[in-house]
Chain A
Amino acid sequence: SQTIHQWPATLVQPVGSPLSLECTVEGTSNPNLYWYRQAAGRGLQLLFYSVGIGQISSEVPQNLSASRPQDRQFILSSKKLLLSDSGFYLCAWSPPPALYEQYFGPGTRLTVT
Chain B
Amino acid sequence: AQSVTQLDSHVSVSEGTPVLLRCNYSSSYSPSLFWYVQHPNKGLQLLLKYTSAATLVKGINGFEAEFKKSETSFHLTKPSAHMSDAAEYFCVVKTGANNLFFGTGTRLTVIP
Contact = CB atoms under 8 A, between A and B. Distances in A.
Given A44-B90, A100-B49, A101-B34, A109 B98 contact: no
A46 B44 contact: no
A46 B44 CA distance: 14
A103 B104 CA distance: 19
Interface residues of B, number: 21
A106 interface: yes
Interface residues of A, number: 24
A57 interface: yes
Interface string B86-112: 000010001001111011110000000
Given A42-B104, A43-B104, A57 B44 contact: no
B106 to A, nearest CB: 11
Contact of B102 (A44, A59, A106): A44
B77 interface: no
B45 interface: yes
Contact of B43 (A46, A57, A59, A90): A90
Given A43-B104, A107-B41, A109-B41, A101 B46 contact: yes
A11 to B, nearest CB: 13
A99 B99 CA distance: 8
Interface of A: 6, 32, 34, 42-44, 46, 49, 51, 57, 59, 88, 90, 92, 99-107, 109
26 contacts: A6-B43, A32-B98, A42-B105, A43-B90, A43-B104, A46-B99, A49-B98, A49-B99, A51-B98, A59-B99, A92-B43, A99-B98, A99-B99, A100-B51, A100-B94, A101-B46, A102-B46, A102-B100, A103-B46, A104-B43, A104-B44, A104-B45, A105-B43, A106-B43, A107-B42, A109-B41
Interface of B: 32, 34, 36, 41-46, 49, 51, 90, 94, 97-100, 102-105
